[in-house]
Chains A and B, each alone.
Chain A
């Protein structure tokens, strides 16, 4: 039941229902990549199916195939048992298939009602959109899911959780039979997630088939009825959640036993290198104070939106604080831009690698040397040989895998891209390195390598700040942990035998 190596379709033995939507041996190839290889998937009315897989397993390709954005190269889509084609996204929604995407893909400048009914608005005289009816129906749908939102407000005036509800309302407005939720809880707070679970239950009760894509095993076991596991574009296994355990799912997902092992560290921190006091920002964080020693890893834990990344970006000079002091090696520093931060020895590995961390269309060596151009040039003129030497030195230290140093960073895997970003900063010989969700979007295999490397950096005397939302990572790597909630520091904990529950309690304020 666990390892389905032959890709046969596993039937839901417990149910005699016909799948409302099924994929039958779908194949999709992109230049150079086989994104999906004969994968099958069945969704049943009133059931939540969890789609599980690592990054790059083919989950988003499957969603795009099911919603008519991609056309499969082989295999068939069956709606209610009949072979159907979705040549355009509209065709998918005509068949009642709708997706709520990871980032809420809606329109800031349009009203809530227009967002809900874009493409299928109620018509009045002369075939024109009936604005009044549209607002009324939007209100009905929103009330139906317990959302108290004015349909005539512009979407940009709404918070992230409400935007999400609008996306759900949009899905309901087309009388969807299949609702695809792509990592819906990624940007939501604890309370909002609970509300989302209730919503899923409501949808289930209405007989809708739900495909729930998630990384988080706790929520999969909480709300899913069935599971389907993908790995490297192939179907690995599927069945009822009741018949499977978490370690089994993890094993299917990664293809081997992974007990998350963190490097053992001999933590004997040195002198204090960074001291932050009374650090505040007008809207993002307030009265932050902490210190950091050489050779230490300081973890920052909190819920998404607790202000951790915002604090780090202020320390790195992206935004301006409204008050407080930052001292490096006992001397106060004024950081007004990232360039100032780098000069002071503070570097930042951002969470958003594609936009902020790396320059994807430039070659590896140019990415690595970008902050260190002064060191590989004389009087502003570049010395190419020294540039390659510097790039080689640091990429080798990180064991970067690439065809050549002039390969574009965009062509590398997530893990190797992260190595380029870290190499770039190590080449500046920093004193403090801030890593923001360092293993996000990095496949499980490479995660261990990043962890090991962090431990090594600390062992060499570098002071490390790690922002992470993954509790095992925080507990496994940090010497001390600071917990933030709603822009404030709520706890500073030594990591002796720190329990996960302690972190969650502080972060959620319970």
Chain B
């Protein structure tokens, strides 16, 4: 940057400076802290295979969390994601019973995800309904359809080639899911931070009316975001179904909350308008490490939910308490 005598500089702080003071940096320190604490707490923690196993705790949820992050930044929310997983998984299970092969299953999983996303998107953008209510409704509706189809039964018998999506390894301890997680993270980071589309998402989240008055096609962008969230739920459904090898209607119950927690923990404002993908990536690792670490210490899963719930409130409450305390 040349030092001309320009009256109005581009920036006052360099992007690097801003980044160092950011939420993401703090979160990264937390993640490192948890990593170190875990490695002292359990002798089994620093084992390549154990760590690799631990990634399954968050990869599928994180894939959806990236799309959810964009949706929340734009000022909307989708609580039906876990139910989309259930419906997509049920559809794939039904297809297996009809003898559909691996490529067909993948297409069905993605297709159902897209359809569900389109349904949410149409209700929100065409009819102008609040997304939180719409997706509480479709949350019941989508999973309800799975219950109607399956009742208390389960679909099994997924082909070996399909199982690879949930159980396969690309190289040594690096699983296919982890690679997919990394690729999707990269794609969403570019989409949000480096494209016109991402800029429109931020503008809409800050002031949807202002964005529309600036010539942004607000409803089209929002519809696309619901499509993307549905699509990612389809991807997650493929991975999860392949990993479990069976489909029950209760599959992925409660994931929507963990995914929203991941997004908020990652520094995305629940009120819309701000947040980054790298934040969500780090939040995914933090949640994965906490779950894995407590698991090694034989702490049951439901107790971890206390930690997750406290994290969700704590990450927002602590900075506010801090600034209130300082204002005295």
Query: Direct contact between A and B in the complex (CB less than 8 angstroms)?
Result: yes
A373 touches B199 (CB 8 A): yes
* B195→A338 contact, CB < 8 A: no
Chain A residues closer than 8 Å to B12, beta-carbon distance: 403-404, 406-407
Contact of B210 among A355, A380, A382, A404 (CB under 8 A): A355
Enumerate chain A residues within 8 angstroms of B181, measured Cβ to Cβ. none
> Shortest distance in angstroms between A48's beta carbon and chain B's nearest beta carbon?
37
A367 neighbours in B (Cβ, 8 Å) = 214
User: Which chain A residues lie closer than 8 Å to B11 at the CB level?
Assistant: 404-406
Distance of A337 Cα from B207 Cα, bound (Å): 17
What's the Cα separation between A371 and B203 when bound, in Å?
11
Verify if A358 is at the interface (C-beta below 8 Å from B).
yes
The answer to whether A355 and B209 have CB atoms under 8 Å apart is: yes
Q: Which chain B residues numbered 272 to 291 have a C-beta less than 8 Å away from chain A?
A: 273-274
Task: Judge whether A382 and B217 touch: CB under 8 Å.
Answer: no
**B191's closest neighbor in chain A, by CB?**
A380
Q: Which residues of A contact B196 (CB under 8 A)?
A: 373-374, 377, 380-382
Within 8 A of B (CB), among A347-398: 348, 350, 355-362, 365-367, 370-371, 373-374, 377, 380-382, 388, 392, 395-396
Smallest beta-carbon distance B17→chain A, Å: 12
A424: interface (CB < 8 Å) = yes
Whether A338 and B197, one on each chain, are in contact in the complex, defined by CB atoms closer than 8 angstroms, is no
Main secondary structure of the interface of A (DSSP, over half): mixed
Instruction: Give the one of A358, A373, A388 with max B CB within 10 A.
Output: A373
* B213: interface (CB < 8 Å): yes
Which residues from chain A contact B10 at a C-beta distance below 8 Å?
365, 388, 392, 404-406
Across the interface, do B194 and A381 meet the contact criterion of CB distance under 8 Å? yes
Contact A358 B210 (CB under 8 A): yes
Question: Across the interface, do A338 and B203 meet the contact criterion of CB distance under 8 Å?
Answer: no
Inter-chain CA distance A382–B199, complex, in Å, is 9
| Interface assignment of B9: CB less than 8 Å from any CB of chain A | yes
| Residue in A closest to B9 when the chains form the complex, CB atoms | A404
B211 surroundings in chain A (CB, below 8 A):
359, 370
Given A337-B217, A402-B8, A403-B12, verify A361-B207 contact (CB < 8 Å): yes
CA distance A370 to B211 in the complex (A): 8
Taking A404-B11, A405-B8, A406-B10 as contacts, is the C-beta distance between A370 and B209 under 8 angstroms? no
**Complex Cα distance A373/B203, Å?**
12
Asked if B194 and A356 make an inter-chain contact with CB atoms under 8 angstroms apart, the answer reads no
A435 within 8 A of B: no
**Is there a chain B Cβ closer than 8 Å to A339's Cβ?**
yes
* CB-nearest residue of chain A to B212: A338
Question: Which residues of chain B in 191-249 are interfacial with respect to chain A, using CB atoms and an 8 Å cutoff?
Answer: 194-197, 199-200, 202-203, 206-207, 209-217
B207 touches A359 (CB 8 A): yes
CB distance from A407 to the nearest CB of B (A): 8
**What chain B residues lie within 8 Å of A356 (beta carbons)?**
209-210, 213
Interface residues on A, range: 35 or more
A360 and B203 contacting across the interface, CB-CB below 8 Å: no
Near B by CB (< 8 A), chain A positions 267-281 give none
Instruction: Give bound CA distance, A473 to B133, whole Å.
Output: 48
Beta-carbon contact of A377 and B195 below 8 Å: yes
In the complex, are the beta carbons of B213 and A350 less than 8 A apart?
Answer: yes
Q: Which residue of B lies closest to A367 (CB)?
A: B214
Residue of B nearest to A370 (CB): B214
Instruction: List the A side residues contacting B200 at CB < 8 Å.
Output: 373
Q: How far is the CA of A318 from the CA of B215 in the complex (A)?
A: 10
Tell me the chain B residues, 47-70 only, with Cβ under 8 Å from chain A: none
Which residue from B8, B202, B215 sits with its C-beta under 8 Å from A338? B215
Known A359-B203, A377-B196; contact A404-B8, beta-carbon cutoff 8 A: yes
Q: Is the CB of A371 within 8 A of B195?
A: no
B207 pairs with A400, CB closer than 8 A: no
Q: Would you call A342 an interface residue if the criterion is a C-beta within 8 Å of the partner chain's C-beta atoms?
A: yes
What's the minimum C-beta distance from B277 to chain A, rounded to whole angstroms? 15
Query: Residue of B at shortest CB range from A408?
Result: B206
Which of B8, B203, B215, B217 meets A395, CB within 8 Å? B8
Q: How far is the CA of A357 from the CA of B215 in the complex (A)?
A: 11
Closest to A364 in B: B8
Q: A402: which B residues are within 8 A, CB to CB? A: 8
- Is A19 an interface residue when CB atoms closer than 8 A count as contact? no
**In the complex the two chains form, what is the Cα distance from A339 to B216 in whole Å?**
6
Rounded to whole angstroms, the CA-CA distance of A338 and B312 in the bound complex is 39
List, in ascending order, chain B residues with CB within 8 A of A395's CB.
8
Min CB–CB distance A22 → chain B (angstroms):
31
* B16 nearest CB across to chain A (Å): 14
Closest partner residue, chain B, to A387 (CB atom): B199
A155 at the B interface (CB under 8 A): no
Proximity string of chain A (310-349) to chain B, C-beta cutoff 8 Å, 1 when within and 0 when not:
0000001010000000000000000001110110000010
Closest to B18 in A: A406
Please give me the residue from chain B that is nearest to A338 by CB atom: B215
B195 and A381 contacting across the interface, CB-CB below 8 Å: yes
**In the complex the two chains form, what is the Cα distance from A370 to B213 in whole Å?**
10
Bound: A13/B9 CA distance, A? 54
A-chain residues with CB within 8 Å of residue B207 when the two chains form the complex: 355, 359-361
From B8, B190, B195, B214, A359 is in contact (CB under 8 Å) with B214
Q: How far is the CA of A356 from the CA of B213 in the complex (A)?
A: 6
**Complex contact B213–A348 (CB within 8 A):** yes
Contact of A370 among B9, B190, B199, B273 (CB under 8 A): B199
Which one, B197, B202, B213, B274, contacts A357 given CB within 8 A? B213
Rounded to whole Å, the gap between the CB of A377 and the closest CB of chain B is 5
Residues of B within 8 A of A350 (CB): 213
A-B contact pairs, 20 of them (CB 8 A): A337-B212, A338-B212, A342-B215, A356-B210, A357-B210, A359-B207, A362-B202, A365-B10, A367-B214, A370-B211, A371-B216, A373-B196, A373-B199, A380-B197, A381-B194, A382-B199, A392-B6, A404-B8, A405-B8, A407-B12
| Cβ-closest 8 pairs across A and B | A342-B215, A373-B196, A371-B215, A359-B210, A356-B213, A370-B214, A359-B207, A404-B12
B residues apposed to A, CB below 8 Å: 6, 8-12, 190, 194-197, 199-200, 202-203, 206-207, 209-217, 273-274
A374-B196, A396-B8, A403-B9 given; 18 more Cβ-contact pairs under 8 Å: A338-B213, A338-B215, A342-B215, A356-B210, A357-B210, A358-B210, A361-B207, A362-B206, A370-B216, A371-B214, A373-B200, A380-B197, A381-B190, A392-B6, A392-B8, A392-B10, A400-B8, A404-B12
